[in-house]
Amino acid sequence: MITFATILFLSALLRITGINWDQGFYFHPDELALHYVSQRIHFFSNLDPNFFNYGTLPIYLLKGIAQILQFEYDPYKVMILGRVLSTLSDIGTLMVIFLICRLLFQKKSIAYAASFFYAIAFFPIQNAHFFIVDTFLSFFLTLAIYRLLLYWKNPSLKSVIYIAIALAAALSSKFTSIIFVPFICIALLIISKHKIKDILTFSFSLLVFHFLFMPYVFLDYKSFIKDVALQLKLNSDPYFFPYTLQYVGTTPYLYYLKNIFLWGLGIPIATLSVVGLVAMNLKCKVQSAKLQLKNQNYLILVFAVFYLYYFLILGRSAVKFMRYMLPLYPFFVITAAYGFNKLKRSLKFVVIIIAVLWSALFFSLYARPNTRISATNWIHTNIPQGSTIAVEHWDLRLPVTNSERYQIVELPLYNLPDDKEKWKNIQESLRTVDYIIVASNRLSTPLQKLTDCKKYKVCYPLTAKYYQQLFSKKPVATFTSYPQLIIDNWQLAIDDSSADESFTVYDHPTIYIFKL
């Protein structure tokens, strides 16, 4: 087990390194929101989160441990603790990946390869640097499919309860895991010898543990239904919130796959995943033709259908944040490991080197200061105190410290209608401005795309023209942090600005400062 221990150590090192990437400023809005909710909770005087956009189990874990360690009112320590918990849940996912591989393929080599690929895949690494519910969701769903596979291989009432506990924890992390309730019930109906007994046990256990993990779903169900309805509306209509306009016109399924393969997994591991999927499919077809489909292959089929089911339902959402697909990464690294196992020994070594170098490109982001921190330092050094700075609404304001030194003007660029009256008011504000700061591509990218008023429900032709004119000027300062690799005098950098906004906007946005 020395090999697996080494992989675990590598995984932990990659996730802990740079854990203070934003120097305590909470640049991830979901992380900040969960922090605020945790401040309302206190064991055992008040457990009501009054917030159901996400599940409360991760918040309870954060608050409970912070209380035990007696630093619940120290925002910085709570932030670090939250990220450590995300790291631990992600390492837990890696450990379950190893167990699933052993169960499916009965080969340590495939299990080691899958664990290694998950350890170095950048998107899980990146999300472990945030305290968000998706890392917990991914762990609990991976655990749920593992327990389901064990049940499929050897049905027992105890296994049914374990499945229910894992799914209850997933459901108490994020409501979307509700889609697996019918899936598991159908699986129980297919394999169980005591169908009614097992389904009743599963349903009762799920309710009991969901209540233990997230009691206010039941105690304050009206607020829960209201918040969930809002989230469902968000996922079905990209026009609903300004910050989801980036998804207008994006193609279901393909948009997710593009970002998973190019940025989340990276091209080397993604290519192996495709090879593995083809190899697994061919194996099953050959055995089916020979009427030799073994029980082990049924396990692989259940495993594949579990993740296909998730992708088919979530992949069609109108709003497509990359983190929604984080639970799929165990599937991709396992298929990548299967593909890797089919390669010749000499080629395996080359593939490992390429995969490590690719991941090193992206991990280098945590070896440099966050661009918002660098921009803040530049502003305080180069922009005179008392200057008037224009910032964009719905984006993080810069500078992040001592902003009271400057006159801040907020530009309401998302506002509708995008007409002459709107721009008359904005132009009046701009006449008083010395500098304009574009702190990310959160507004500029989608608003420049939405120019056709016949094609889109909302359009921004005048705002698009403003950005075109602004970016035609040379900024006085630009702050970028692209994935890059430097070896001696050789350097490789990748422009990832075409990735989903949420991939770049939290920990390495490109920032422009213009002087008027």
pLDDT digits (tens, 9 = 90+) for 54-80: 999 999 999 999 999 999 999 999 999
Cα-Cα-Cα-Cα dihedral of 269, 343, 353, 18, to 10°?
Answer: 30
- 321 and 425 part of one domain: no
Asked which of 332, 366, 400 is the last residue of a domain, the reply is 366
- 408 and 501 part of one domain: yes
- 450 and 346 part of one domain: no
Residue 301 token pair: 């089929």
Residue 376 CB: number of other CB atoms within 10 A?
22
Give me the sign of the Cα torsion angle 20, 21, 23, 28: negative
Say whether 165 sits in a helix, a strand or coil.
Answer: helix
Say whether 395 sits in a helix, a strand or coil.
Answer: coil
Among the listed residues 96, 106, 186, the one whose alpha carbon sits nearest the alpha carbon of residue 141: 96
Amino acid letter, residue 173: S
- 430 and 486 part of one domain: yes
383 DSSP 8-state letter: S
Asked which of 306, 340, 366 is the last residue of a domain, the reply is 366
CA distance 39 to 77: 13
CA distance 288 to 165: 35
Helix boundaries (H) for 106-220: 108-120, 122-128, 133-153, 157-171, 180-191, 195-213, 216-219
The pTM score is: 0.95
Amino acid letter, residue 254: L
Tell me: the pLDDT tens digits for 251-295? 999 999 999 999 999 999 999 999 999 988 776 665 554 544 556
Bridge partners (DSSP) of residue 486 are 491
CA distance 49 to 172: 13
- 249 and 375 part of one domain: no
Query: What long-range pairs does 356-361 form, CB within 8 A, spacing at least 24?
Result: 356/120, 357/485, 358/266, 358/267, 358/268, 358/269, 359/120, 359/121, 359/122, 359/125, 359/266, 360/485, 361/483, 361/484, 361/485, 361/492, 361/494
CA distances from 404 to 230, 388, 429, 433, 434 (A): 35, 11, 18, 16, 16
Inter-residue contact 458 to 450 (CB < 8 Å): yes
- 382 and 362 part of one domain: no
- 353 and 380 part of one domain: no
Residue 343 token pair: 């390669």
- The helices-and-strands tally (H runs, E runs) of the chain is 22, 7
At residue 291, the pLDDT reads 45
- 259 and 386 part of one domain: no
At residue 240, the pLDDT reads 86
Residue 348 CB: number of other CB atoms within 10 A?
15
Among the listed residues 85, 96, 80, the one whose alpha carbon sits nearest the alpha carbon of residue 4: 96
Whole domain around residue 496: which residue ranges? 371-515
Inter-residue contact 510 to 371 (CB < 8 Å): yes
54 DSSP 8-state letter: S
- 229 and 99 part of one domain: yes
Radius of gyration of the chain (CA): 24
End-to-end CA distance of the chain: 62
Inter-residue contact 87 to 12 (CB < 8 Å): yes
- 406 and 426 part of one domain: yes
- 451 and 485 part of one domain: yes
Work out how many domains the chain is built from and give that number. 2
Inter-residue contact 323 to 127 (CB < 8 Å): yes
Asked which of 366, 397, 414 is the last residue of a domain, the reply is 366
Question: Which secondary structure element, helix H or strand E, spans residue 83, and what is its range?
Answer: helix 75-105
- 157 and 245 part of one domain: yes
Bridge partners (DSSP) of residue 441 are none
Residue spans of the chain under pLDDT 70: 283-295
Inter-residue contact 114 to 97 (CB < 8 Å): yes
DSSP string, 428-480: HHHTT-SEEEE-SSTTHHHHHH---TTTSSS--HHHHHHHHHHHTSPPSEEE-
CA distance 394 to 410: 10
The length of the chain, given as a count of residues: 516
